[in-house]
Structure 1
């Protein structure tokens, strides 16, 4: 685990975001049991008491991590589903931005939260609610483009289950290979073949990252 110790002046206690950043990294590297106050303080080069200037207890810190996950992963996924698109293929390409851009959707965090929820009954409803928001947004996306309610839900669930399975398996697929497969994925998920222009627009957003 690599946590960058901050530059600090005498008496500095860090910030709430700094503690959440460090806790996030510990969660990714070691799971929820690794997220503990004293190791966090040690990694940051701060005192344990500094933590309590920002959080009442460890549970409050964990809530902040989940809040970040909901705002970033679920929030951005919903926003991409709601982005303007003239066709369903263009709409799905908008959603696929989440699967390519870690700034929009953090797959490692999503997996860590799901693993955590398996043994935390209090977290399970929040994960279920987030999944419901995602499904609702994806169903609405298909419905706006003329899909029947039943088929919209089936197509949306197929995409969700495929993506969760993808990052759960940690395939490590090269970006160029993943981008090459995106147009066929769009056709599989929508039943329609994306146009050359739609493919070019999507590639223009992401090919430079490769």
Structure 2
């Protein structure tokens, strides 16, 4: 097979983006080849040039979810911070910025996992990776093993609860609550300078 041209690559991404949109809107059962091709005004032949079958497209969706949500969450947990509170605020960037962590994508994948054992196993493996990263984040600031893991799980389970319960709150309300969340998770007072630096990243 010849190397893919820019147009070929764009078509593959278009199919993946359309599949993502349908997964978000209607669940995995809404991700079907013919409707995707029709919506993109492309042929089914074009689809099969890029993907072996529907299963390959679904695998690409899972890979995209892992790279974005799990990969970025781990990167935020590992980002430089001078204090544990700054480290937690680095993580909170993900809760405010969909470009870092896509909550709707996480919700859709978890719904899919309810009816697919292989996807459920994938979700559980990613949950473990995320919790391990959060545990390591606390450990590097001197928390003992049990405290680090417990606090990591408190952060993670709270956020997954937000996603699963489809909590709706304004940006202003979420920002108002964040200092208390930080102090609850860390057990340490949040300094004004720490909060000011965080707000500066989210001023627009």
The answer for the alignment partner of 2:64 in structure 1 is 68
Is 1:191 aligned to 2:187, yes or no? yes
User: Which aligned pairs between 1:90-129 and structure 2 lie closer than 5 A?
Assistant: 90-129=86-125
Give the Cα–Cα distance (whole angstroms) in 2 for the partners of residues 16 and 200 of structure 1: 42
**Which is further off, 86-95 or 120-129?**
120-129
Contact 1:176 1:207 in 2 (8 A): no
Give the Cα–Cα distance (whole angstroms) in 2 for the partners of residues 12 and 121 of structure 1: 33
Return the offset for 1:51.
0.3
Return the offset for 1:207.
2.8
Return the offset for 1:14.
5.2
**1:19-42 CA-partner distances (Å, limit 9, x unpaired):** 100000000000000000011011
Return the offset for 1:13.
9.1
Give the Cα–Cα distance (whole angstroms) in 2 for the partners of residues 137 and 152 of structure 1: 10
Change (3 A) 1:193 1:52: same
Give the Cα–Cα distance (whole angstroms) in 2 for the partners of residues 13 and 139 of structure 1: 38
The answer for the alignment partner of 2:3 in structure 1 is none
Contact 1:13 1:46 in 2 (8 A): no
TM-score by length of 2: 0.94
Return the offset for 1:171.
2.0
Is 1:43 aligned to 2:17, yes or no? no
2:127 to 131, 135, 138: 131
Give the Cα–Cα distance (whole angstroms) in 1 for the partners of residues 189 and 37 of structure 2: 53
2:138 to 142, 152, 155: 142
The answer for the alignment partner of 1:178 in structure 2 is 174
**Which is further off, 64-73 or 117-126?**
117-126
**Which is further off, 13-22 or 97-106?**
13-22
Give the Cα–Cα distance (whole angstroms) in 1 for the partners of residues 121 and 65 of structure 2: 14
**Which is further off, 62-71 or 125-134?**
125-134
**1:150-195 CA-partner distances (Å, limit 9, x unpaired):** 0111111111110011122222211111111111100011111110
Give the Cα–Cα distance (whole angstroms) in 1 for the partners of residues 102 and 9 of structure 2: 28
Return the offset for 1:73.
0.3
TM-score by length of 1: 0.91
